[in-house]
């Protein structure tokens, strides 16, 4: 029984296919790297935006705390406890005001 030997043409075609596969793989990896970089940039941008919003909230909370502290001083009470009690009465804890 004769065994089929690959001809020079078949071997060349196989090598070309391997070369094409290598180029395709390299191209695919470059595309994936680009997409991951784009996603990474978007995530970092969102984190920066969230950080800015948190900073704004902290500034607002400090302002409210100062206002409550001034009010507590004028009223002679504990501004922090008063503020917490008022928050509990007006908020559900999810940022929405109770009605």
Domain containing 79 equals 44-91
Provide the pLDDT confidence category of residue 35 given band limits of 50, 70 and 90.
very high
Distance (Å, rounded) from C-alpha 25 to C-alpha 32?
A: 10
Domain presence at residue 36? no
Number of domains in the chain: 1
Residue 50 in domain: yes
Collapsed DSSP state (helix, strand, coil) of residue 2 = coil
pTM: 0.48
Domain assignment present for 58? yes
The pLDDT tens digits for 82-95 are: 555 555 555 555 55
For residue 97, the cross-strand partners are 91
pLDDT tens digit sequence for 51-62: 999 999 999 999
Per-residue pLDDT, 87: 52
């Amino acid at each position: 029984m004769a065994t089929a030997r690959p001809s020079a043409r078949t071997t060349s075609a196989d090598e070309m296919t391997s070369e094409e596969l290598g180029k395709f793989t390299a191209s695919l990896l470059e595309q994936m790297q680009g997409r991951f970089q784009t996603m990474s940039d978007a995530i970092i941008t969102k984190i920066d935006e969230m950080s800015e919003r948190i900073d704004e909230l902290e500034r607002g909370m400090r302002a409210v705390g100062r206002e409550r502290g001034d009010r507590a001083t004028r009223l002679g009470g504990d501004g922090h406890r008063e503020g917490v009690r008022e928050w509990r009465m007006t908020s559900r804890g999810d940022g929405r005001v109770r009605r």
